[in-house]
Amino acid sequence: MRFLLALLGCLFLFDAHAQFPSKPVRVVIGYAAGSSTDIVGRVMADRLSQYWKETVYVETRAGAAGNLAADVVAKAAGDGYTLLFAQNGLAISAAALPNLPFKAETDLAPLAPVAATPHILIVAPDFPANSVQELIAKARAEPGRLAFASSGVGNSDHLCGELFNLMAGIQAVHVPYKGGAPAAVDVMAGRIAYYFAGMPVGLPLHKAGRARALAVTGKARFAGAPDVPTVAEQGLPDYEATLWQGFFAPASIPAALSAKIAADIQAVVSQRDTHEKLQAAGVALFEGDQAGFKRFFHADIEKWRGVVKKSNLKLE
């Protein structure tokens, strides 16, 4: 009898998971509207809505490098109806902020990666530097006078700037904004020297001539901007940083449901229409499954933990 009851329970759970979702799904994003992560997250919410034939809506909880959103999801029910769409900021916070009200490594479950795209280093069209080497030379000639923008303290673009300053041996003032769009506005106006923008924000500005791209931060040139060299090509051979984005769920989510949602997300990402929409947004796909994403996430935490320690960076 116990065996039969257990079997029936498993069948019930399997059926419940197979029917998921049966009501609207909330995707929480911790970054401002118009930011790179918001743009990609909304593409995915739309595509998942079509795939599941159920409403998938975005809830913006911007602030604290995405940690307001992450905290909401970490404390939500693990029923699959509240998901987090996050980026590097989650790993950076886990590496640098031990006093957060949640633990990203244990309170959130990585589901599936979506995008992994280099940042693009932009300056104003008339900025007096035409390469990374010239930017470094200018910063060294004027220590502490140049400023670089970010979409917020502890975000991926912030750490890109800190890593660049550390490896180039320069001093520049960090100016955080409430999102990538206002940061880019001040760079275009010449009020801020440079910005490691997310590709969906920075690439259209470069192509329109409203900003000038000096470099991309990947190991290789970005297919969407083959004319823009990497930072590594221009004197910092070990420099590499990627803006990744993916889905997480509360850690309490059952394994079978977690696997089901992860498989559905991967199916959506592999669709041609999704490819086209993401490419149009200026991002590259993150190839990998749920297990690989989990390993990558924990390795990324360790990478940024090393950067924070070497630079003596204080994010709190």
For residues 96 and 134, membership in a common domain is answered with no
Residue 15 lies in a domain: yes
For residues 149 and 167, membership in a common domain is answered with yes
Number of domains in the chain: 2
- Rounded-to-integer distance, Cα 77 and Cα 315, Å: 29
**Intervals of the chain under pLDDT 70:** 1-17, 316
Residue 173 lies in a domain: yes
For residues 275 and 223, membership in a common domain is answered with no
The last residue of one of the domains, among 204, 234, 264, is 234
- Rounded-to-integer distance, Cα 290 and Cα 200, Å: 25
> Tell me: the pLDDT tens digits for 274-301?
999 998 888 899 988 999 999 999 999 9
Residue 316 lies in a domain: no
For residues 289 and 194, membership in a common domain is answered with no
The last residue of one of the domains, among 210, 234, 258, is 234
171-202 in b/e form (b: 16+ CB < 10 A) is ebeebebebbbebbbbbbeeebbbbbbbbbbb
Residue 273 lies in a domain: yes
For residues 294 and 266, membership in a common domain is answered with yes
For residues 273 and 299, membership in a common domain is answered with yes
pLDDT at 92: 92
CATH number of the domain that residue 80 is part of? 3.40.190.150
For residues 37 and 106, membership in a common domain is answered with yes
For residues 190 and 176, membership in a common domain is answered with yes
For residues 271 and 208, membership in a common domain is answered with no
pLDDT at 229: 98
Residue 163 lies in a domain: yes
Terminal-residue alpha carbon distance, the chain = 56
pTM: 0.85
- Rounded-to-integer distance, Cα 13 and Cα 11, Å: 5
The last residue of one of the domains, among 186, 205, 234, is 234
Q: How many CB atoms lie within 10 A of CB 250?
A: 22
pLDDT at 311: 77
For residues 126 and 206, membership in a common domain is answered with yes
Question: How many CA atoms within 13 Å lie on the side-chain side of 178?
Answer: 4
Q: What is the DSSP code string of the chain?
A: -HHHHHHHHHHHHHHHHHT--SS-EEEEE-S-TTSHHHHHHHHHHHHHHHHHTS-EEEEE---GGGHHHHHHHHTS-SSSSEEEEEEHHHHHHHHH-TT-SS-HHHHEEEEEEEEEEE-EEEE-TT-S-SSHHHHHHHHHHSTTT-EEEESSTTSHHHHHHHHHHHHHT---EEEE-SSHHHHHHHHHTTSSSEEEE-HHHHHHHHHTTSSEEEEE-SSS--TT-TTSPBSGGGT-TT---EEEEEEEEETTS-HHHHHHHHHHHHHHHTSHHHHHHHHHTT--B----HHHHHHHHHHHHHHHHHHHHHHT----
> Tell me: the pLDDT tens digits for 126-157?
999 999 999 999 999 999 999 999 988 888 89
Residue 201 lies in a domain: yes
pLDDT at 9: 54
Residue 72 lies in a domain: yes
Nearest 5 degrees, angle CA 69-CA 201-CA 131? 125
pLDDT at 5: 58
Torsion, CA 134, CA 137, CA 142, CA 147, rounded to 10: 50
CATH number of the domain that residue 191 is part of? 3.40.190.10
Distances in whole angstroms, Cα of residue 177 to Cα of each of 141, 204, 242: 26, 20, 20
For residues 220 and 247, membership in a common domain is answered with no
Give the rounded distance of the alpha carbon of 117 from its chain centre: 9
For residues 218 and 80, membership in a common domain is answered with no
Residue 192 lies in a domain: yes
Residue 207: domain span: 120-234
